[in-house]
C-alpha cells in the first residue's frame, strides 16, 4: 500500500508528460473520466489481463518466469491492482452493485504478466503484432482465470498439442463455438518441444484450429449437454441432428494468441480464455512511449 500523497501524485503526473486534467479514457461500466491525475491517485468473471513485452520488463522488474500468475512480485501485483482500482473507483465496477458477476476470479485483484522472451524459440507476441523487437508494449485481454495444462510425457509437437487441444476444447463449455481471442501460454520446456520439431506458431495455431472442430450433430442443444449451437446457426442446416459439417471452436486460427512464459523447470502450460460477449474478447496492444 503506497498512499497517494500530493507530492507522489504530482511526481507521477510530471513523469507522464501530460497535464493532470488530460483525459486518458472513459472507463466502463459507468464511463467515469480517467484523467492523468485520477489514474495517478487510484493507482469485470473476466478481468483485464495485462501482458508486457520489451526491455521495460527488466526496467520495471516484471515477473516473466516462475510463478508469474501468482503472488510475490511487486511490479506485477502493483500494475494489475492499479488497473483494477481504476475500474472500480473511476469506472464504478463495484462488486454486487454494478459488477454483477456470479463468481469473478482472483485476477480481479491483480492480473499482470510479462512474456519470457529470452526463453522463447519464436518471435514475441509483440513482434507478431507488428512491433519492433526493441519496442516496449502492453497488451490487454478481457480474460478468465488461467487453466493449467499438464503434460510431462509428450516429446513431440503433435502429442503435446493434442493434450493442449483437449484442454482448450472445454473453454466455456464443450459445445461452445466461434470463440474469440484466447491466450495460450506455453512454458519454455513445452515451447522447446514444439519448436524442436520445427513447428512455428502458425503451425501450432493451424493444428489447434483444425483439431478443435466438432460436427453439427454433436452441437445440437439438449444432446449430451443443454447448451449448443444457437438457433440462428442451426437454421442454416436442413437436418442438424445428422449433419456432419465441422464447426470450429475458434472463429479463425489467428484468435489463438501464443506466448512463452513461466519457469524453465516443469512441463506445464496454461490456457487463458477470453471473454464470451457478443463476438468475444479482442486482445489490444499498444506501444509504451
Grouped pLDDT means (10 residues each) for the chain, 289 residues: 79 90 84 83 76 97 96 94 86 75 85 98 98 97 94 97 97 91 97 98 98 96 89 92 96 96 94 76 93
pLDDT of res. 44? 43
Q: What is the residue range of 165's domain?
A: 25-212+249-287
Question: 28 to each of 83, 189, 247, how far by Cα in Å?
Answer: 12, 39, 33
DSSP annotation of 6: H
- For residue 36, is it within any domain? yes
Nearest to 51 by CA among 34, 39, 63, 42: 63
Is residue 243 in some structural domain? Answer: no
Q: Is residue 121 part of a domain?
A: yes
Determine, yes or no, domain membership for 227: no
| 129 within a domain of the structure (yes/no) | yes
Specify the number of domains making up the chain.
1
| b (16+ CB within 10 A) / e for 240-261 | beebeeebbbbeebebbbbbbb
- Predicted local distance difference test score (pLDDT) of residue 88: 83
Domain assignment of residue 240, yes or no:
no
Q: Report in angstroms the alpha-carbon separations of 251 from 124, 129, 163, 219.
A: 23, 18, 21, 16
CB within 8 Å of 251: residues ≥ 6 apart: 178, 179, 180, 279, 280
Tell whether 150 is covered by a domain: yes
Which cell numbers hold the place of 11? 511526481
In a domain, 30, yes or no: yes
Half-sphere exposure of 35 (CA within 13 A, CB side): 8
Amino acid at each position: 500500500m503506497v498512499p497517494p500523497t500530493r507530492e507522489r501524485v504530482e511526481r507521477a503526473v510530471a513523469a507522464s508528460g501530460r497535464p493532470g486534467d488530460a483525459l486518458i479514457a472513459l472507463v466502463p461500466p459507468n464511463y467515469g473520466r480517467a484523467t492523468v491525475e485520477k489514474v495517478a491517485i487510484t493507482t469485470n468473471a473476466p478481468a483485464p489481463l495485462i501482458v508486457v513485452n520489451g526491455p521495460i520488463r527488466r526496467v520495471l522488474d516484471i515477473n516473466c518466469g516462475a510463478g508469474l500468475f501468482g503472488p510475490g512480485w511487486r511490479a506485477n501485483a502493483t500494475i494489475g491492482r492499479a488497473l483494477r482500482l481504476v475500474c472500480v473507483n473511476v469506472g464504478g465496477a463495484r462488486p454486487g452493485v454494478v459488477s454483477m458477476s456470479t463468481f469473478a476470479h482472483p485476477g480481479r485483484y491483480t492480473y499482470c504478466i510479462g512474456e519470457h522472451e529470452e526463453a522463447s524459440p519464436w518471435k514475441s507476441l509483440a513482434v507478431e503484432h507488428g512491433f519492433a523487437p526493441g519496442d516496449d508494449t502492453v497488451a490487454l485481454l478481457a480474460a478468465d482465470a488461467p487453466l493449467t495444462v499438464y503434460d510431462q510425457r509428450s516429446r513431440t509437437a503433435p502429442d503435446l498439442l493434442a493434450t493442449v487441444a483437449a484442454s482448450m476444447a472445454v473453454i466455456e463449455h464443450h459445445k461452445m463455438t466461434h470463440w474469440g481471442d484466447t491466450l495460450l501460454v506455453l512454458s519454455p520446456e513445452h515451447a522447446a518441444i514444439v519448436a524442436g520439431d520445427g513447428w512455428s506458431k502458425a503451425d501450432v495455431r493451424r493444428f489447434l484450429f483444425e483439431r478443435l472442430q466438432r460436427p453439427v450433430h454433436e452441437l445440437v442443444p439438449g444432446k449430451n449437454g443443454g447448451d449448443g449451437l444457437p438457433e440462428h446457426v442451426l437454421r442454416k442446416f436442413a437436418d442438424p441432428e445428422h449433419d456432419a459439417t465441422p464447426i470450429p471452436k475458434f472463429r479463425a486460427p489467428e484468435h489463438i494468441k501464443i506466448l512463452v512464459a513461466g519457469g524453465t523447470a516443469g512441463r506445464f502450460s496454461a490456457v487463458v480464455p477470453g471473454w464470451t460477449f457478443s463476438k468475444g474478447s479482442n486482445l489490444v496492444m499498444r506501444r509504451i512511449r
